């Protein structure tokens, strides 16, 4: 069995490397297309999770927090006890904005002073952060105007700090999201097309009459795709570096979670090939499956802005969790301690997908 499997793996790798069109397509998706889309695409949002750190606990400080929640831009994620806890919430993604109202806020305002109100922003998505920044400044400004009218002078002075992407550039989010999308497309479309091509050529039917088992054939069809999917990530790392996007976390963790993500994508591709009759049908089904996964991932429309039903449905999109991984590793320097929920979700999605794909493939490898 080991010799047969090794032979099949070598055959698949040679076949892959000889397909210049596919190689150029993968290179295009991970490089040129990433560059083009990064330079052309931008995003908008609402309903950002807000961590409200009210250290004053007075009617006036609560009124300021309420002013943030009245708008559609912010929704209350919780009330951390201190700035350190709020920082942890930004780090693990529970909040995208933190509002810190200092001790003595009401006292200083009623005295006619202008106390500082700290606003911490998660800048991994610069367009979202820029919107939140403008609205937060406007809210604090209106609060200061109202306080000045009531007390003669005084108000509040916002002290704004954008975390993880302080210059507010949209490049970081866009280039990373396009790399995630490229990984999904290659992981789904290439396995589906490769298997269907061999179906139509009759190669798989010929393999069925050999001593090769369907399990060995399934492994031979998926393992090289996983390896090549990981190898294909490296050219995109050069693009990331070219755009000046930092890698603050562990490259090894990124590759490991990318492998888990690719298992889900490859399983979807194998499922599509298993139920398709022709290559054209497989490609159409691939795009039919790709679009819902893409739209529910948060790469185009933030998950927080979706209806509640779609927010729940987005939990089954592996791309949503992988986006948290790639943004967390590159921009936040997050490790497994922060990303274990995403890692667990990718495993929970990928494992049953892979097992179902293997079962269907074993039942009808030749369609």
Distance between CA atoms of residues 179 and 176, nearest Å: 5
Distance between CA atoms of residues 73 and 304, nearest Å: 10
Cα separation values, 335 from 178, 247, 252, 298, 343, Å: 22, 12, 10, 21, 11
What is the per-residue pLDDT for 357? 82
Is 98 in a helix, a strand, or coil? strand
Distance between CA atoms of residues 275 and 221, nearest Å: 16
Is 333 in a helix, a strand, or coil? coil
Query: Mean pLDDT for each 10-residue chunk of the chain (367 residues)?
Result: 67 68 66 60 67 92 89 87 90 89 87 84 78 84 74 59 69 84 85 78 67 72 83 86 86 93 88 79 76 76 76 86 91 88 91 84 59
What is the per-residue pLDDT for 85? 92
Domains of the chain from N-terminus onward: 2-41+170-363 (no CATH), 48-163 (3.40.1710.10)
Angle at Cα 208 formed by Cα 205 and Cα 213, nearest 5°?
Answer: 145
What is the per-residue pLDDT for 174? 81
What is the per-residue pLDDT for 56? 92
What is the per-residue pLDDT for 367? 44
What is the per-residue pLDDT for 252? 92
What is the per-residue pLDDT for 218? 76
């Amino acid at each position: 069995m080991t010799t047969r499997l090794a032979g099949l793996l070598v055959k698949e790798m040679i076949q892959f490397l000889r397909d210049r069109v596919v190689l150029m397509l993968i290179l295009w998706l991970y490089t040129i297309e990433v560059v083009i889309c990064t330079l052309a695409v931008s995003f908008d949002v609402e309903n950002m999770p807000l961590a409200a750190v009210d250290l004053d606990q007075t009617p006036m400080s609560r009124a300021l927090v309420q002013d943030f929640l009245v708008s559609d831009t912010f929704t209350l994620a919780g009330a951390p006890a201190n700035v350190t806890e709020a920082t942890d919430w930004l780090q693990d993604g529970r909040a995208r904005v933190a509002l810190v109202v200092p001790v003595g806020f009401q006292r200083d305002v009623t005295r006619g002073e202008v106390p500082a109100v700290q606003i911490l922003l998660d800048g991994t998505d610069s367009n979202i952060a820029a919107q939140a920044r403008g609205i937060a400044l406007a809210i604090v400004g209106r609060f200061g105007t109202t306080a000045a009218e009531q007390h003669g002078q005084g108000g509040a002075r916002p002290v704004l700090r954008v975390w993880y992407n302080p210059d507010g550039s949209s490049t970081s989010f866009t280039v990373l999201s396009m790399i995630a999308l490229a990984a999904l497309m290659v992981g789904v479309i290439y396995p589906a097309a490769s298997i269907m091509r061999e179906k139509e050529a009759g190669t798989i039917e010929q393999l069925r009459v050999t001593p090769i088992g369907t399990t060995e054939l399934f492994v031979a069809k998926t393992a090289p795709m996983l390896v090549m999917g990981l190898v294909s990530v490296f050219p995109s790392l050069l693009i990331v570096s070219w755009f000046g996007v930092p890698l603050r976390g562990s490259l090894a963790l990124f590759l490991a979670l990318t492998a888990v993500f690719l298992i889900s994508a490859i399983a979807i591709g194998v499922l599509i090939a298993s139920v398709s009759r022709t290559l054209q049908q497989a490609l159409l089904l691939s795009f039919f499956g790709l679009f819902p996964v893409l739209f529910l991932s948060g790469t185009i429309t933030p998950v927080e802005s979706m209806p509640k039903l779609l927010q729940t449905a987005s939990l089954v999109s592996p791309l949503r969790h992988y986006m948290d991984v790639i943004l967390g590793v590159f921009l936040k320097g997050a490790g497994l301690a922060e990303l274990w929920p995403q890692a667990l979700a990718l495993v929970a999605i990928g494992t049953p997908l892979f097992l179902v794909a293997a079962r269907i493939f074993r039942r009808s490898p030749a369609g």
